Structure 1
Amino acid sequence: MNQKPSLFTVVSPRLLDIYDISNGIVVVIDVFRATSTIATALYNGATRVIPVDSVDKCIQIGKTTGGITAGERDGKVIEGLAHGNSPAEYPRSFIAGKTLVLTTTNGTRLLHMALNNGASEVITGSFPNLSAVCDHLVAQNKNVVLGCSAWKDRFNLEDALFAGAVIERIRDHFAIHCDSSLMAEDMYRLHKNDIKQFIRKTTHWHRLAAYGLEADLEYCVTADQANVLPVYRNGDLVSLTGPAGGS
């Protein structure tokens, strides 16, 4: 009988270095809202999303690629950029056929850390593309690290909730000897039927709801609204599964 691949959940980028991720798949999770926006843009026909960690780099790459620049700090579009981090800003009528250059702090940093530590593949995950992530991880049959982007290295609930949703679906295919994975799965199982209420307890909800973003946050915990698989290839996040529709 073949040995099952392992699965671990890393609840903060600060902890990534203590895990062996070489030749494994790292799922970058940044539910509110970077990875939800990435999935949505690609689902709605964006040709690629270029994740960058600084505003200056975002502006520069936007100019050289003709891409749409996007990013927020504290719920507001950054001066010099064209758009924000809201998935609602990227309907098919706007984003199809275009490049999105997205600056995010937590998720982009974790993505580059994963690459530097030898991950064989980096994908991004969020509730809107939950099934695509789960199907891919099962099909690849490789070790997996579910990487929570957290908030300035501090644990957050929403990223762990998504990790728990993944684990609940695919646990039979993996060897899971990891308390953070067990915690994430238990938390998801406890709250999956009241998830839109539960997220109102999170610090991110209080931070972003103050800017009128409640509908955004509810979308970000709704499964399979943008079911594509963003994969990092040569500096770009591209859809492995191709857009299946969208508004």
Structure 2
Amino acid sequence: MSTTQKPRLEVCLSPALLHLYDTTNTVVVIIDIFRATSTITAVLHNGAKCVIPVASVAECISLGNEIPGSITAGERDGKVADGLQYGNSPLEYPRGFIEDKVLVLTTTNGTRLLHMVKDSAAIVIGSFLNLQAICDYLVSEGKNVLLGCSSWKDRFNMEDTLFAGAVVSKVGDKFDINCDSARAAKMLYEVSTGENLLEFLKDSSHYRRLSGFGLIDDMKYCVTPDLHPIVPILQGAEIVAFK
């Protein structure tokens, strides 16, 4: 890449569209605001050794049995999955509980997308909780970027797209953007600014789904910017805090 040419930035609005994007030599940001990437960010900032993301509940249980002192966690359709110890709420993992432990995690959308990405330069975890840290990392790396929205069972969702738009709004001038989904995400985010993000999301499908489970406090936490200023990065099979 020429030193005068800006790296590319694109937004993938659903895992079902991932095959349309070239992730080679690209930093891929996995986004699952409600709640996987928010939980991973909180867990690592609160001192966990690592998070091991797995695709299935069965694999989660199996790894939990193999790794001494590990915690198995995850959800299906917003509820704690049968056979797992804990759920997918960032509020479940304060430092006094999670510090120095290994979290084995499976979720409906976010961990699935993570396992779909191939041949990337890096896979990092994005959430409002680490928004500025992610933006700073992407600029410092100087590589092509794909913001990957986990969506909801392959369907577009508002909260992941809002986060992608926040990143584009903050660092878009450092990248070459020829991607209408990136432009649309930015527009959506900029329409939402000046309002409480959770209020903006109240008519969204995922807000309705999770509020039906009594998880409003979770969602409020997940849209709070920069509470956990770290960059979780996938190294081998583990997600750790980037040093």
Q: TM-score, normalised by structure 2?
A: 0.96
Give per-residue Cα distances to partners, 1:112-147, cap 9 Å, x unaligned: 211x2x111100101001011101000000000000
Give the structure 2 partner of residue 2 of structure 1.
4
Q: How many Å apart are 1:105 and its aligned residue?
A: 2.5
Q: How many Å apart are 1:192 and its aligned residue?
A: 2.2
Whole-Å Cα distance in 1 between the matches of residues 82 and 5 of structure 2?
51
Q: 1:34 aligns with which of 27, 33, 36?
A: 36
Q: How many Å apart are 1:95 and its aligned residue?
A: 0.2
Q: 2:115 aligns with which of 112, 119, 122?
A: 112
Whole-Å Cα distance in 2 between the matches of residues 216 and 37 of structure 1?
10
1:153-168 aligned at under 5 Å gives the runs: 153-168=154-169
Amino acid at match of 1:62: G
1:207-222 aligned at under 5 Å gives the runs: 207-222=209-224
Whole-Å Cα distance in 1 between the matches of residues 187 and 111 of structure 2?
28
Give the structure 2 partner of residue 71 of structure 1.
74
Give the structure 2 partner of residue 95 of structure 1.
98
Whole-Å Cα distance in 2 between the matches of residues 72 and 106 of structure 1?
10
Question: Pairwise CA RMSD of aligned residues?
Answer: 1.0
Q: How many Å apart are 1:184 and its aligned residue?
A: 0.4
Q: How many Å apart are 1:197 and its aligned residue?
A: 0.5
CA contact (8 A) 2:76 2:108 kept: no
SS at match of 1:112: helix
Q: How many Å apart are 1:80 and its aligned residue?
A: 1.3
Amino acid at match of 1:221: V
Amino acid at match of 1:200: K
Q: 1:226 aligns with which of 228, 237, 242?
A: 228
Whole-Å Cα distance in 2 between the matches of residues 212 and 107 of structure 1?
21
Whole-Å Cα distance in 2 between the matches of residues 32 and 216 of structure 1?
8
Q: How many Å apart are 1:48 and its aligned residue?
A: 0.2
SS at match of 1:152: coil
Give the structure 1 partner of residue 147 of structure 2.
146
SS at match of 1:227: coil
Amino acid at match of 1:240: F
Give the structure 2 partner of residue 86 of structure 1.
89
Which structure 2 residue ranges, 5 or more long, are not aligned?
A: none
Give the structure 2 partner of residue 244 of structure 1.
none
CA contact (8 A) 2:75 2:108 kept: no
Q: 1:199 aligns with which of 182, 188, 201?
A: 201
Q: How many Å apart are 1:74 and its aligned residue?
A: 3.0
Amino acid at match of 1:151: W
Give the structure 1 partner of residue 16 of structure 2.
14
Amino acid at match of 2:75: E
Runs of 4+ in 1 over 3 A off after TM superposition: none
Amino acid at match of 1:5: P
Worse overlay, 157-166 or 68-77: 68-77
Amino acid at match of 1:167: V
Whole-Å Cα distance in 2 between the matches of residues 192 and 219 of structure 1?
17
Give per-residue Cα distances to partners, 1:76-134, cap 9 Å, x unaligned: 222211100000000000000000000112112211211x2x11110010100101110
Whole-Å Cα distance in 1 between the matches of residues 79 and 167 of structure 2?
31
Q: Percent identity?
A: 52
Give the structure 2 partner of residue 121 of structure 1.
122
Q: How many Å apart are 1:234 and its aligned residue?
A: 0.8
Give per-residue Cα distances to partners, 1:26-79, cap 9 Å, x unaligned: 000000000000000000000100011111100111111121000122332222
Q: TM-score, normalised by structure 1?
A: 0.95
Whole-Å Cα distance in 2 between the matches of residues 237 and 34 of structure 1?
12
Amino acid at match of 1:186: M
